[in-house]
Structure 1
Amino acid sequence: MAIPAEFDEIRPYDTGEVQQAFNELLADRQFSTMLRGIVPWLPKSLRNAVLKIAFIGVKSPLDFQKRFMKPIVRHIIWKYTDGCTFDDNCLPRDFSLRYTFVSNHRDIVLDSALLDVMLVKTGYPTTVEIGIGDNLLIYPWIKRLVRMNKAFTVRRGLTPKEMLRSSQIMSRYIHYAVTQKHENIWIAQREGRAKDSDDRTQDSVLKMLAMGGEGKPIDSLREINIVPLTISYEFDPCDYLKAQEFQQKRDNPAFKKSRQDDLDNMKTGIFGYKGRVHYHCAAPINTWIDELGDLPKTEFFAALSKRIDRELHANYCLFPCNYIALDELEGTKKYAQHYTEADKKRFEDYLKGQLEKVKIANPDEKFLRERMLTMYANPLRNYLKAKAE
């Protein structure tokens, strides 16, 4: 199937393009430097020879994921988590269906990578294509690697006119990928991660998804089979970096993260301890979206965002640290039945260790601690509200 040329600037590599991209990756000096840091005992000639042998038989991005990325991500799960679980009981038992997973955003790299492993492990025939901001594609080798890993580019920092065109092309591509390429899609519910873990779906994301189909927004969205997906981490290894950024912005409203900050967040998210991790699929919105069909367009998207949020919030997997954080912030023991003294000590030791990693001038420990506690309390707050509704 020939992919329309209008998608060339954003799409992942297609079958037939992966081999050339791989050869270009091996020839990239920055990629070689990165590999040398991972396996310093192997000379460049041997590193490349080993990779070339391992690449034999890889013809598509899915082949690449299964051959290279799946073992890496499984190692990350083994070494840096206490296990990753996946609940898809609300999805139909029909593996021929494809989905657009709209999820909360916890980790720049791993949100979709862990989902890929869970889908393959559960028996789904393919993984997900993912939207990744071009602000993270700092070097040519990173762009090549993510395109080999089924990523399409989300352009950032555009003028309003450019943003409209970019959103239209991306939406058409997502519809094309689901309906013609028969791929799943993963996309975050908002631009960037929710630094305080107060996960909210941006109307603009849903409006973008609706641009690329035919008919009314409800018909267009029905076409791509959206599934609200909740990602729960027991511990967020980037929590201290997020708290640090809160203080930097408090002290200097003009503060902006650097490219190195983005790389530090990616590295910390991958190689930091996460405790238990859980992915939970809600029922596809097609099972209830008709309830919103008579609303005017502006009210429709607001109501849809609210309903997706409720589905996401109701499916959080809660851990002792969530209850401890909310009790500490509120100065109560209201949720004490959900944790033990050992849980409290473990969480306190964890927070102390994370706060010690903060590397800024004049760290405001009280403020930083409150920000981190809020990150762990907000999923519980939203869960309780969703269940009450």
Structure 2
Amino acid sequence: MTKFDAIRPFYDTEVNEAIHSCINNPMMKAIMAFTFPEVDEQVWKEQLKRTHSIRDFQCNFIYQSVKKVLEKSSEGLTTSGFEKLEKNTAYLFISNHRDIILDTSLLNVCLFDHGLVMTASAIGDNLVQKDFLKTLSRLNRNFLVQRGLSPRELLESSKLMSEYIGQLLLRENRSVWIAQREGRTKDGNDATHSGVLKMLAMGSGEYSMMDYFKRIKIVPVSISYEYDPTDALKMPQLMAAANAEKYIKEKNEDFITLLSGIIGQKKRIHIHVGDVLEKELDVIEQEFDNNNKQIQALAQTIDDSILQSYKLWPTNYIAYDLLHKTNTYSNCYTEAEKSLFERRLEMRIDEKNAQMVESFLAMYANPVVNKMKYENAI
């Protein structure tokens, strides 16, 4: 075994065998029937059997699946910032995180459409407990983030992942996607956790931390959905947090959330990629003399980029006005849009539970509050 075998995606030499192992799985059949409804099963099976690389698998199958998801469950995907990225160049994309699978899948569709290097993407091993999902994730160039470890195991795992990410970016010229925090943002407040940056810094070797971060080309990414297809599913966890209670997930909760995120209605989606962080890192290195302060400053810099470029939708403004019982942003939406959103609220949660209503509205309203901090500072 090589040191990365426990977490890495398949090598191209392993792809065909992996495909053969899951080609008759009912979930594979369901994915292909959804993606290619007009194509006979034997046809897509033959094409899969002739697939020998991750790139071919992604371009011929996963790309088509994501396009079909967009067609069926959204009103379109818009982008900004991709024209600033250079072809044949690896970047570390640090992104806010709203949807388990789609955040990174949509970014890869955009990278492919712009002729840029697609990513290897971090995914929690708790999400791929089923053999088929683990195989599919490895075929789609995901690497595993190990969860539920003791402090000592976590340290070893972080070192391994940091080294692996460094190898992908600097030796294999492979872009990497990683979320700014462990787990998805449930309350609409996107914030970079210092632990993610500390893990990345473990790979700096002989370089100063900020020099290393310059070498791996950090690009903040902001993704926003007009409707969060998993908004109602996030409520029990938010309620538990509000009441200072420990939240225990149901047995298949992650899988149900994963599925809901893919097929649930999202309306419009926007992805913005920020500038590569360079000058900002020089400033941080000059201003702060210890690693912890540098990490905090970098987390804030990433947050500033993500929050300032976050695309606000009518749903965000409506939720803000409903939550604060005001008409502050009434010029940002129509009465029809407001009625639709209120109908969604009515259908998805118990309106008699004031705390739940408040949490639901805050999930959509918080991005407005966060963005306005920057608008008002100008």
Aligned residue for 1:151? 142
Q: 1:247 and 1:202 mapped to 2: Cα distance? A: 22
Aligned residue for 2:355? 367
Give TM-score, length-normalised by structure 2.
0.92
Does residue 121 of structure 2 align to residue 123 of structure 1? no
Equivalent residues in 2 for 1:102-181, closer than 5 Å: 102-124=94-116, 126-181=117-172
Aligned residue for 1:63? 56
Q: 2:221 and 2:103 mapped to 1: Cα distance? A: 10
Contact 1:102-1:229 at 8 Å conserved across structures? yes
Task: Report the AA paired with residue 302 of structure 1.
Answer: Q
Aligned residue for 2:36? none
Q: Secondary structure at the match of 1:293?
A: helix
Contact 1:104-1:231 at 8 Å conserved across structures? yes
Aligned residue for 1:323? 317
Q: Which runs of no fewer than 5 residues in structure 1 stay unpaired?
A: 41-45, 357-362
Contact 1:213-1:223 at 8 Å conserved across structures? no
Aligned residue for 1:101? 93
Q: Which runs of no fewer than 5 residues in structure 2 stay unpaired?
A: 34-38
Contact 1:101-1:227 at 8 Å conserved across structures? yes
Q: Secondary structure at the match of 1:258?
A: coil
Aligned residue for 1:43? none
Contact 2:91-2:169 at 8 Å conserved across structures? yes
Aligned residue for 2:347? 353
**Which of residues 19, 23, 28 in structure 1 aligns to 2:20?**
23
Contact 2:240-2:246 at 8 Å conserved across structures? no
Task: Report the AA paired with residue 130 of structure 1.
Answer: S
Does residue 299 of structure 2 align to residue 305 of structure 1? yes
Superposed CA deviations along residues 101-129 of structure 1, whole A, max 9, x for unmatched, are: 100001001111111111111222x3111
Q: Secondary structure at the match of 1:16?
A: helix
- The more displaced of 9-18 and 244-253 is 244-253
Q: 2:202 and 2:252 mapped to 1: Cα distance? A: 34
Q: How big is the alpha-carbon RMSD for the aligned residues of Structure 1 and Structure 2?
A: 2.2
Aligned residue for 1:289? 281
Change (3 A) 1:38 1:188: closer
Task: Report the AA paired with residue 223 of structure 2.
Answer: I
Task: Report the AA paired with residue 265 of structure 1.
Answer: T
- The more displaced of 198-207 and 343-352 is 343-352
Contact 1:325-1:374 at 8 Å conserved across structures? yes
Task: Report the AA paired with residue 12 of structure 1.
Answer: P
Q: 1:228 and 1:387 mapped to 2: Cα distance? A: 19
Superposed CA deviations along residues 171-208 of structure 1, whole A, max 9, x for unmatched, are: 11111001111111110000001110100000010111
Task: Report the AA paired with residue 238 of structure 1.
Answer: T
**How many pairs align?**
370
Deviation at 1:345, TM superposition (A): 1.1
- The more displaced of 289-298 and 182-191 is 289-298
Change (3 A) 1:48 1:143: farther
Deviation at 1:287, TM superposition (A): 3.8
Q: Secondary structure at the match of 2:361?
A: helix
**Which of residues 308, 332, 339 in structure 2 aligns to 1:338?**
332
Does residue 376 of structure 2 align to residue 382 of structure 1? no
Aligned residue for 1:54? 47
Task: Report the AA paired with residue 222 of structure 1.
Answer: K
Q: 2:294 and 2:32 mapped to 1: Cα distance? A: 52
Aligned residue for 1:79? 72
Equivalent residues in 2 for 1:34-53, closer than 5 Å: 34-35=27-28, 49-53=42-46
Aligned residue for 2:269? 277
Give TM-score, length-normalised by structure 1.
0.90
Q: Secondary structure at the match of 2:221?
A: strand
Q: 2:241 and 2:372 mapped to 1: Cα distance? A: 30
Deviation at 1:36, TM superposition (A): 5.7
Q: 1:259 and 1:14 mapped to 2: Cα distance? A: 32
Q: Secondary structure at the match of 1:120?
A: helix
Q: Secondary structure at the match of 2:75?
A: coil
Change (3 A) 1:264 1:76: same
Task: Report the AA paired with residue 209 of structure 2.
Answer: P
Contact 2:32-2:44 at 8 Å conserved across structures? no
Contact 1:100-1:186 at 8 Å conserved across structures? yes
Identity rate of aligned residues, in percent?
Answer: 37
Q: Secondary structure at the match of 1:83?
A: strand
Aligned residue for 1:359? none
Q: 2:41 and 2:136 mapped to 1: Cα distance? A: 15
Q: 1:311 and 1:203 mapped to 2: Cα distance? A: 16
Does residue 202 of structure 2 align to residue 211 of structure 1? yes
